[in-house]
Structure formats: structure tokens, C-alpha cells
Structure 1
Amino acid sequence: MMPVSVVKPPIDELLDKTERNRFLLASLASKRACDINSMLRGQHSRVLAVQDVDDITIALSGKDTISMAMDEIADGDISFDLPRFEEALGHRAADV
């Protein structure tokens, strides 16, 4: 598997979308990447009998799922509920 590097979209742009909270950014991106993987696995398991989902994703989209998730965050396609996030943490995000 290739290492992932966040060059585009710029990390500062991504942090601006997530209250400048690195944990929130990582959580959103990983959750969305898992969702994309699950969606792709479901679609392709009906058509192809392939074992490596990451290779399928890259072959079909040209991108890995983390990059796809980061692009969606930068575009504003992925959002979050700040009060719910803070409640899950047990404190306000600004206190971190």
C-alpha cells in the first residue's frame, strides 16, 4: 500500500473546515473513507471476485479512499454536528 500524503487539498484548508481540530479531521476522513470502501466493496462484490478493495478503488477512481474523503471535506460535501461531537468527547472542542 502506498503512503498517504495530504498535499491537495491543503491541510490548512481541511483544518478550517473542522474547527482547526486535527482529531475531528482525522475522524471525519477515516469514517468517510470506511463508508466509501464499504460502498465500493458492495458494488464490486456483485460484479468482480477481487480480494484487494484498495486496488479496486484506486483502479476505478484513480484515488485512494482517504484522498476521496479529504476532497469531500474540502468541498463542503461532508459536515459534522459540533455540539454532538463535543458531547461525545465530554467537553467543548475549544477546551482542547
Structure 2
Amino acid sequence: MSVVKPAIDDLLEKTDHNRFLLSSLASQRASDINNMLRGQHSRVLAVQDTDDLTVMLSGKDTISMAMEEIVDGTISYDHERYEAALGHIDPQEA
């Protein structure tokens, strides 16, 4: 039984077994979720800690939400564009 849900192996499959890419996707999406929640609730609540607000509203932290979106395919990346940005392939070929 895995301690991490979703399982790290499932997450790595979605990012070509690239841990750096996985952490980048998850952190960017978690930041987007925090910003979205802050914008939606700033008029109603005096937001002091967005993470507390997220957990209060959803029962989950934003990193968990982001990783669930990665594993179910809601969040993904463009493999060719990623490789071109790293300089591994010619951008004209992508």
C-alpha cells in the first residue's frame, strides 16, 4: 500500500519519469489553484492563509489537488515543446 495518493509511480508515468517535471507541474498548478481561490473568496473572507482556506473549502491541500489532476490527465504538458525548451530538439522540428 502506498502512503502517497496518488501513487508516485502513477505520477511519474505522466511525466516520462521526470521528477523535476512532475514537481514543476504540481507546484505551478497548486499556485494557480491558490490564486484562483484567493480571487474567488477575497470579497467574502479576509484571507490570511490561502492554504488554510483551501483545506477548509475542499478538505485537501493544493499540492494534493494538483497531483490528482496530473494523474487523471486534467493537467499535462507538451512533450515536444518541453524538449525544445531544454534544447534537446530543434524548435523548428517541434
Q: Give the shorter-chain TM-score range.
A: 0.7 to 0.9
Taking structure 2 as the reference length, the TM-score comes to 0.87
Q: Residue 81 of structure 2: which of 57, 79, 84 is its match? A: 84
How far apart in 2 are the matches of 1:21 and 1:56?
A: 31
Alpha-carbon deviation of 1:89?
1.6
Cα offsets for 1:32-64 (capped at 9, x unmatched): 001100000001102111211110001111111
Q: Residue 38 of structure 1: which of 21, 35, 38 is its match? A: 35
Sequence identity percentage: 75
Q: Which runs of 4+ in 1 moved over 2 A?
A: none
How far apart in 2 are the matches of 1:24 and 1:8?
A: 18
**Counterpart for residue 92 of structure 2:** none
Equivalent pair of 2:69/2:75 in contact (CA under 8 Å): yes
Alpha-carbon deviation of 1:86?
1.1
How far apart in 2 are the matches of 1:37 and 1:90?
A: 31
Taking structure 1 as the reference length, the TM-score comes to 0.85
Gaps of 5+ in 1: 1-5
How far apart in 2 are the matches of 1:27 and 1:69?
A: 11
Q: Residue 7 of structure 1: which of 4, 8, 23 is its match? A: 4
Cα offsets for 1:49-88 (capped at 9, x unmatched): 1211110001111111000000000111111101111122
Secondary structure class of the residue paired with 2:88:
coil
Q: Which entry has the higher C-alpha Rg, 1 or 2? A: 2
**Counterpart for residue 72 of structure 1:** 69
Alpha-carbon deviation of 1:10?
0.3
The two structures, once aligned, show a CA RMSD in angstroms of 1.2
Aligned length in residues: 87
